[in-house]
Structure 1
Amino acid sequence: MDEQTTKLIEELQFKTSRAGGKGGQHVNKVSSKVMLIWNVDASSIFTDEQKTLLKERLANRINKEGELLLDASSDRSQIKNKEIVIERFLNILDEALKVDKPRIPTKIPKSKIIARLDRKKMQSDKKADRRWRHE
């Protein structure tokens, strides 16, 4: 991990709780579910533009207090769930901060336009031949 990722992980808060589901008595007595909480506005790693972009792209994941909430409860181990939720968090941030390439509109080649018009003419002729003619 690089230095920036380490600083980012230090900004995270974690809460644990009991996970539901299979596991019998183990589930009832061990807090293996991990919830990750990260305040976007309080982050010192990202610029204001990056924070705005994150808020825009992750709007459905950020609550009213400006916190990004993620949880993991797929594993029986709290440590493993913490690793899973950190990895998901880093992937989500990477995806949200990707800069989209601008689309360069392309011109339709003349040959394709002519071929389309030819197909349309052939279809029109076929339908015209089926019509009943008055004579």
Structure 2
Amino acid sequence: MDRYGSEKGLFVSSRVRIPDDELEEAFIRSAGPGGQNVNKVATAVQLRFRASASSVLSDDVKTRLLKLAGSRATKEGEILLEASRHRTQERNRQDARDRLVALVREALVPPPPPRRKTRPTRGSVERRLDAKKGRSDTKRMRGRVDD
């Protein structure tokens, strides 16, 4: 059991828990820290999440998630995260899961509504033009004085 959930899946929010059968982990040799151990032990983690086939995410969340994933998303709609920052397999596994949770949480937030264009009121336009005219008069008065 890790800090994000139990055997039932990966806890993202109070409403979203990704089931374990939608996640696939593969352990590979790491190029990161570890000394001679790097050449012997597969400590890096490749975490695959089948986002397009997910049963817990809505279609618009899936679309946002794949867009946020960028180059980490495959053509088949999977998200592939690699973690090799740490020396141990377990910490790399947790790091990959943390990054996936952060990505899904970001995708769960809907985008703000588009901005509606507004026009300035007649009064605000007149006030702006009056201020410009007053400033212009002030600057014109600074010029050379003719008799």
What interval of TM-score do these two structures reach, taking the shorter chain for normalisation? 0.7 to 0.9
For 1:74 and 1:111, how far apart are their aligned partners in 2?
Answer: 60
- Aligned in 2, Cα 1:72/1:109: closer, same or farther, shift over 3 Å? farther
CA contact (8 A) 1:4 1:45 kept: no
TM-score by length of structure 2 reads 0.67
- Aligned in 2, Cα 1:23/1:57: closer, same or farther, shift over 3 Å? closer
For 2:28 and 2:91, how far apart are their aligned partners in 1?
Answer: 14
1:90 to 2:95 alignment: no
1:14 to 2:19 alignment: no
CA deviations on 1:77-126 (whole Å, 9 max, x unpaired) are 10111011101101100101202343676897999878765664454345
CA contact (8 A) 2:68 2:103 kept: no
3-state SS of 1:8 partner: strand
1:70 to 2:81 alignment: yes
Sequence identity percentage:
35
CA deviations on 1:10-32 (whole Å, 9 max, x unpaired) are 01111222221443212221211
Structure 1 stretches lacking a partner, 5+ long: none
Alignment-derived partner of residue 48 in structure 2 = 37
How far did 1:33 drift?
A: 1.0
Structure 1 letter corresponding to 2:140: A
Alignment-derived partner of residue 110 in structure 2 = 99
TM-score by length of structure 1 reads 0.72
CA deviations on 1:44-75 (whole Å, 9 max, x unpaired) are 22233432333344344311121101111111
CA contact (8 A) 1:40 1:67 kept: yes
3-state SS of 1:50 partner: helix
**Within 5 A, what are the aligned runs for 1:50-65?**
50-65=61-76
Structure 2 letter corresponding to 1:5: L
3-state SS of 1:70 partner: strand
- Aligned in 2, Cα 1:42/1:127: closer, same or farther, shift over 3 Å? same
Alignment-derived partner of residue 10 in structure 2 = 5
CA contact (8 A) 1:58 1:96 kept: no
Query: RMSD in angstroms over aligned alpha carbons?
Result: 3.4
Q: Which range moved further: 49-58 or 103-112?
A: 103-112
In the alignment of these two chains, the number of paired residues is: 135
- Aligned in 2, Cα 1:47/1:21: closer, same or farther, shift over 3 Å? closer
For 1:47 and 1:108, how far apart are their aligned partners in 2?
Answer: 39
Structure 2 stretches lacking a partner, 5+ long: 12-16
Compare the two structures and name the one with the higher helix fraction. Answer: 1
